[in-house]
Structure 1
Amino acid sequence: MAIAKAERLMNLALCLMNTTRPLSKRELRASIEAYREMEGGSEEAFNRMFERDKDDLRELGLIIETAESLDDEVGYLARRDRNRLPEVALDAEEAAALGLAARVWQQARLAEAASGALHKLRAAGVPFETEGAGSLGALEPHIPVHEAAFEPLMLAARDRRPVTFDYRKATAARPEQRHVEPWALECWRGHWYLAGWDRDRKAGRVFRLSRITGRVRTGSGKFTADVPDHVDVRETVARWGGEGATATARIRLRRGAGYPLRAKALDLRPVDAEWDELEIPYGRGLDARLVEFGPDVVVLAPAELRADVVDRLRAVAQGPTSEPAKG
């Protein structure tokens, strides 16, 4: 049905754009096969379908004018000069930035669409640099999308549809079912996060996709909570990860491991050939981040952080052995 409607709308748009005079509904019905062969065939049914199609085309951006046709009926046409996009003109830096943005999605659902858009712009004469050339050619941006939950959550957030999934917190031995109204997806430091309204907890929450187990199930019905005008996933996750924290923690970190922790270190000194000692910002959620480094991190202080990390490690050790892949 969706393909049939798309074909019908395309044929109607072509008729309206390729005529030099207004066409009446009677002429359009005779020219478009889908209208001629429509089920029922009544004039009333055709009028309803035509009005819906006309509204859909206008919503898609087609400018349809009305005027008197040759047989003194209301006629319709879409003038080409009013429905032509301005010429795309990008300088070298803008084209390079667009090329980098397109290559970001090479592992995701949008890869084919991004590649097709670049081919069309290149054919129109936009000066894209060849891969590996120019000042930006050495940059290879990647947003990895390994989690199976990414695509259904992206579509649900786009269509404003609630979802249900099993989610395992870092401190929990087993996953719990969550009912969420998805707002936005964002990648931060190599991991994908979902922000949304948790219906059970009646509050906004952020979920890490790599902790979603099983299949994401999309439901029906409308959202029960208002979607914020601005959803800053990174700010929330960064706050949980200790960004901007005023307290500090002391840890030992194995040599050659934990680059993100080293990058944030306020102080670093070698202990021996295997370990370094670091002082790092301490805020909410730092225990969850430290657990990710496993045996490469030992918490020295404060005591409550050490206890939280030990609790999380015990919970992981007691949980199922089939840990979902990290993104």
Structure 2
Amino acid sequence: MAARKTERLVNLTILLLSSRRYVPRAKIRETVEAYRDLSDENFNRTFERDKDDLRAMGIPVETGSNERFFDDEPGYRIVRTDFELPPCEFTGEEAMVLGLAATVWQQASVADQTRQALAKLRAAGVDPDPSRLRALAPRLSVRETAFDPLREAMIERQTVRFTYKGGQQRTVQPWRLVLRNNNSYLLAFDCDRQAPRIFKLSRIAGAVSRLGPPNAFVPPDNEALGDYAEHLSVKSDFDVVLAIRSERAPALRRRGELEHAPIELPSGFEAYRVRLNQNNAVAEIASYGPDVIVLEPAELRAAVLGHLRGVLAVHGEARELSETGEQR
């Protein structure tokens, strides 16, 4: 994606995400710098295409009116709770790397492009609410080589070809990329078999080639894609009680319910009862480092502490973890 288009989409996302009310088209055109010098026809075409691109990336652009009883011009916004990513799971090795790398990113509230966009919005007379932009904070992600070209082709709705396990050439229309069961998957329409298929990205060898023009297909709606993704869901069968630091580990908090803490918690923590997959529980909890403490069961707490000790040992750290103290 060209840098100018990326900047325009970032600015549009921040404007719609930071506003508490629906933003009319005229205000969007006035505020987003890249729209200002376009003719009416070019603006409408570019804005419609940008909305489609955001929705193709999974960003829910909502249409509505600020006045229920008046026929006002419709506006647009992005609801933060709908914008947040769903839970993602990683292997033990991936979780270990993410847990260590997280400290690099915890102090960065927004990226350089986000800061520049906020400055432009304020200069244009818009007062964005920074607390609504936490979802735009930089995040590390684990991606196979095929991820980026598939993502770009998915946004452009362009057919691709790649070599799959066993040397098979597959030609597909990419619909959605998902993280499930510690792996990345592509939901796509297989042009050779004329049927929907799910591909594991780690089994894609070599380069991903684009074929034909953009906008070559229309993917299924979100409900249908969600049904396909359900086939990849991990069974959650293990109840645990965790102490989670405020505003941290949102994936765990969304999946849990507030619980009475069996012990006095450190300041800023709340207890949650969460259902996890037993095979992945240790790695998932350890990946949050000091932001998540296991309260129950004791066996899981010991396993997480052991996992973290192993991480420290691998990296030559001398500090020890107390069995009765906070995981650090």
- TM bucket by the smaller chain? 0.3 to 0.5
TM-score norm. by structure 2 comes to 0.35
| Structure of greater Rg | 1
Which gives a bigger RCO, structure 1 or 2 (Cα 8 Å, sep 6+)? 2
TM-score norm. by structure 1 comes to 0.35
